[in-house]
Amino acid sequence: MLQFLVFLFSLGALAPLFGSEPPGIPHLGAHSQRLELEGIGTLLACPPSDETEGKSSQLLLEKPGGMVEVIYTLEGMSFISLLRGDLDGDQVPEIVAVARSSTGPDLVPYIFSEKQGFTCLYPGEDEDTPLIGEEILLVAGKDVTSLCVRNKLDFHQYGPPLIQSEFYRLSGKRIQKTGESFAEGSHFNLQLNRAALFFQRGQYLEAQKGYQSVLEKYGAVLPREATAEALFYQAESRKFLKDFKTAETLYQKVVSGFPDSKITDAARKEHAFLSGNSSGSAELSLYIDAGRLNDLGQSEKSLELLNRYLLTNATGPLADRLFFLKGEALSSLDRTDEAISVFRDFKRKFSNSPLIEDVNMHLEELIGNPEESENEPTHTGEKE
C-alpha cells in the first residue's frame, strides 16, 4: 500500500526554456506547484518524498476542511507544475499536470477533466508514444486554448537549434495536433534542421528541396562538414524517392569532395550498394520501401510488403537484406519468437552475407548469446 505525505515543495516560477514568447501568444497563467480551484479546493503537485514507496509523485486535492484526496499517482516521473485551461471548447477548463522524467529533462503533460472528477484523459492506457517536450505551456488564440509542446531540434549542430512549437487540443479523450510553428531566423543551421525534420517525417521531396536551398543560398559560408551532411541527406532523400542515379551522383560528391568527413564512409557504402543493385530495380524499390516503413514506425505495412514478395522471390540478389528487414519489423512489433526464427533462418540461408554481424547483434539483444542459443528450438506461429 502506497503511503503519501502531503507537503509543499517550494519552487520559484519556472522560466521559459526558450526565452520570450513569440508575439501574439499570451501565457495563460504561470507554472505553479499548487492551483486554487474556487469551490472545490486546492490541487497540489507533489514530487517524490523519501517516505513515498517507489519514489512516486502524486497529484492531490486538498478539499475545504482539510481532507486530502489522492487524484493520481505517477511512478518514475515527478509532477513539477500545474496549468489550467479549456482545451476542448466546452467552457469547462481542464487541468494539465506537467511531469518530468526521473532520468532526464523530458516533460510529459497529464490532462485531467475537472468536470469528470479529475479523471485522467491523457495519456490513455493505450497511448504508446505520449507527447514529450522540453517546455509545456498553455497558449490562447482568438477563440481557443491550446496545449503547446516546445522542443529544440538540433539534428545538425552548426549554430542555434531550431525551436519547434506544436499545438494540440482535446477531442474527447484524444489529443489532436492543430498546428505548429518555428522560431524565425536567418542562420543556415535553422534551415538545415527544417530540412532534417522533413527527412525524419518521410517528406523526402521537401527535404531534398530544403537541403538544396541551403547549399545554394549558404554554400560560401557553410562549414565543410555541414556541406557534406547536406549533400549526403540530399542523396538519401533522392534514394527514398527512387531517383537512384541522382542519389549515386550525390553520394559520389561526398566521397570525392569530402574524404575526411565523418559521413564519407556511409556515403561510400550507399554508393556501392546502389551502383551494384541498380539493375534489379523492382527488388531495390521494395527494399527501399520496406526500410522506409520500418524507419517511420510502420512495421506492419513493411512486413506485409516483405511477406508478399518473399513468398515467391526468396532468392534474389537482395534476398538477405529483405529477410533482415523482415526480422527487424517483427522485432519492432514485439513478435520476438518470430523475429528470432527469421534471424536464425537468415544465418542458415545467408551465411556469407555482410549482414551476419548485424544479425548476431539482434539475436544477442533478443535471446542472449546467439551461438549458445543456435540449436535451441523456437516455437512460432508466424503467418506468411
Q: What is the CATH number of the domain that holds 221?
A: 1.25.40.10
Q: Are residues 152 and 208 in the same domain?
A: no
> Mind listing the pLDDT tens digit for each residue in 20-47?
444 333 333 344 488 999 889 999 998 7
Q: Are residues 215 and 306 in the same domain?
A: no
Encoded amino acid at 219, one letter? G
* Among candidate residues 214, 245, 277, the one where a domain is terminated: 277
> Mind listing the pLDDT tens digit for each residue in 150-187?
999 999 999 999 999 999 999 888 899 999 999 999 99
Are 58 and 113 spatial neighbours (Cβ–Cβ below 8 Å)? no
Cα–Cα distance measured from residue 53 to residue 51, given in angstroms and rounded to the nearest whole number: 6
The larger pLDDT score, comparing residue 172 to residue 362, is at 362
Give the ranges where the chain is alpha helix by DSSP (H).
Answer: 188-200, 204-218, 224-240, 244-257, 264-277, 281-295, 299-310, 319-332, 336-349, 356-367
> Mind listing the pLDDT tens digit for each residue in 280-318?
678 888 989 998 899 888 999 999 999 988 887 777 888
Buried b (16+ CB within 10 A) or exposed e, 282-312: ebbebbbbbbbbbeeebbebbbebbeebbee
* Domain assignment of residue 15, yes or no: no
Q: Are residues 208 and 314 in the same domain?
A: no
Q: Are residues 91 and 200 in the same domain?
A: no
Q: Are residues 211 and 133 in the same domain?
A: no
Q: How many domains does the chain have?
A: 3
Three-state SS at 43: strand
Q: Are residues 62 and 170 in the same domain?
A: yes
Q: 2-11, 329-338, 370-379: which has the minimum mean pLDDT?
A: 2-11
Q: Is the pLDDT of residue 277 over 60?
A: yes
Q: What is the mean pLDDT of residues 59-78?
A: 90
Distance from first CA to last CA of the chain, Å, rounded?
Answer: 47
Angle, helix 264-277 to helix 224-240, in steps of 10 degrees = 30
* Domain assignment of residue 384, yes or no: no
Q: Are residues 204 and 256 in the same domain?
A: yes
Buried b (16+ CB within 10 A) or exposed e, 32-54: bbebebeeebebbbbbbbeebee
Encoded amino acid at 365, one letter? E
Q: What is the mean pLDDT of residues 271-284?
A: 84
* Among candidate residues 182, 207, 222, the one where a domain is terminated: 182
Q: Are residues 40 and 150 in the same domain?
A: yes
> Mind listing the pLDDT tens digit for each residue in 111-145?
999 888 899 999 987 777 789 999 999 998 777 89
The larger pLDDT score, comparing residue 55 to residue 117, is at 117
* DSSP summary character for residue 68: E
* Domain assignment of residue 380, yes or no: no
Q: Are residues 57 and 196 in the same domain?
A: no
Q: Specify the pLDDT at position 280.
A: 64
Q: Are residues 260 and 303 in the same domain?
A: no
pLDDT category of residue 212 using cuts at 50, 70 and 90: very high
Q: 67-71, 93-97, 284-288, 308-312: which has the minimum mean pLDDT?
A: 308-312
* Among candidate residues 151, 182, 213, the one where a domain is terminated: 182
Average pLDDT score over the chain: 84
Q: Are residues 166 and 211 in the same domain?
A: no
Three-state SS at 229: helix
* Domain assignment of residue 7, yes or no: no
Structural domain span for residue 255: 188-277
Q: Are residues 91 and 40 in the same domain?
A: yes
* Domain assignment of residue 14, yes or no: no
* Domain assignment of residue 322, yes or no: yes
* Domain assignment of residue 214, yes or no: yes
* Domain assignment of residue 383, yes or no: no
